[in-house]
Amino acid sequence: MLWAVANTTCRVWSREARRAAGTAATSVPAPPPDELSTAAGRSPSGVQRHLDRLRGEGALGFSVDFDPRLLGYDMTTRLWLNVAPAHLRTVGETLATHPEIAFAAAVTGPSNLVASGVFRTPADLYDYIDRRVGPLPGIRSMETAPTLREVKRLVPALP
């Protein structure tokens, strides 16, 4: 499923575009340009040109959500890391570049960085921790929480 992700605080968003983005945000998935044009009070071609401009300026992007098991990735795991503050940005940005990591964020609490990883097997998770995460600077501790059963996601999970 394709999802539109908008940064509506970006200066390139007009009042009409914000109104259309609000309409898109309440629709699953986002409506086509002709429906957005009605919400924005603009022609479909005008909306399409505006969407192209927003994408070109980095104010609008697209993400694809899918069930990783369809591609043989049977193990999703949350990684909770406690990272020294001086290394938090570096570790977070590094994790975000790893193809195994679907999500990474700085958080508050006992851990200050959380990531969601997608792996084929437990051995792949072990290798990832050992070879990719272990060498990163400033990691004080890490906990993993493999997902036993997923009950909700953007795309319906397989039975």
pLDDT of residue 49: 84
Q: What is the pTM of this model?
A: 0.63
For each of the chain's 159 residues, which pLDDT tens digit applies? 334 444 444 444 455 555 555 544 444 456 676 777 777 778 888 878 877 887 788 777 666 666 777 777 789 999 999 999 999 999 999 999 999 999 999 999 999 999 999 999 999 999 999 999 999 999 999 999 998 887 776 655 445
pLDDT score of 63: 66
CATH number of 69-146: 3.30.70.920
Q: Is 2-64 assigned to CATH 1.20.120?
A: no
Q: What is the separation of C-alpha 46 from the centre of its chain, rounded to a whole number of angstroms?
A: 28
Residues found in the chain:
159
Say how far apart CA 40 and CA 45 lie, in whole Å: 12
User: What residue ranges do the domains of the chain occupy?
Assistant: 2-64, 69-146
Distances (CA, A) of 8 to 4, 22, 36, 105, 127: 12, 9, 15, 20, 39
- What is the pLDDT, as a whole number, of residue 21? 54
Q: Would the CA dihedral through 36, 21, 117, 155 be positive or negative?
A: negative
